[in-house]
Structure 1
Amino acid sequence: MNTLTRSSLAEVVWVDTDRLSGEPCFRGTRVPLRLLFEYLQAGAPLGEFLEAFPTVSERQVATALQEAQRLLLNALTDEACIDRRVP
């Protein structure tokens, strides 16, 4: 699995509290990350998202999805470790 660093995520995501109420967006755009997950949740193919938002690159999307996967798997692993503890 590709290990991402904070700097690689910072290359594709930005947050500015004065823009879009501080919602995380793809760097260099005003496209919120949330929209990517909404498209995918609705069953839309990734290509449809990229067509709808041409200012977002495929590399940005791939990095964001890899980081989301890493965070989710880490959270699930942490949760599983908590469940295994003996009271």
Structure 2
Amino acid sequence: MEWRKHIIADETVLLGKPTVKGTRVSVEHIIGLLAQGWTEQQILENYPRVNQESLQAVFSYIQECLKDGLLYTNS
């Protein structure tokens, strides 16, 4: 999955947070919904501009961030 086709960071949208392209839905928000127990289907139903491919891109983006050590741990 080439997440760069679906996830963008634009300084004029949500202060540059990574978002689903063409929306104001941030990667952080989607991950937060999943952490609260939302299903992928619930996200797709409530955010019609987000599609299955967008969700896959979010997962791919997060996986790459973890792999590259871009997220911090408590030490």
Letter in 1 for 2:3: L
The aligned counterpart of 2:65 is 71
Using the alignment, how far apart are the partners of 1:71 and 1:30 within structure 2? 20
Q: Identify which of 5, 19, 22 aligns with 1:28.
A: 22
C-alpha deviations, 1:26-52, integer Å up to 9, x for none?
A: 011111111110111001111111111
Q: Identify which of 32, 42, 47 aligns with 2:36.
A: 42
The aligned counterpart of 1:52 is 46
| Segments ≥4 residues shifted beyond 6 Å | none
Tell me the TM-score normalised to structure 2 length. 0.77
Q: Identify which of 3, 7, 17 aligns with 1:9.
A: 3
The aligned counterpart of 1:79 is none
C-alpha deviations, 1:28-87, integer Å up to 9, x for none?
A: 111111111011100111111111111011011112202312432x257xxxxxxxxxxx
Root mean square deviation, CA, Å: 1.7
Over the matched positions of the two proteins, sequence identity in percent amounts to 23
Tell me the TM-score normalised to structure 1 length. 0.68
Residues matched between the structures, number: 69
Using the alignment, how far apart are the partners of 2:14 and 2:64 within structure 1? 26
The 10-residue stretch of structure 1 (26-35 or 63-72) with the greater mean CA deviation from structure 2: 63-72
**Change beyond 3 A, Cα 1:10–1:75:** closer
Q: Which runs of 5+ in 1 are unaligned?
A: 77-87
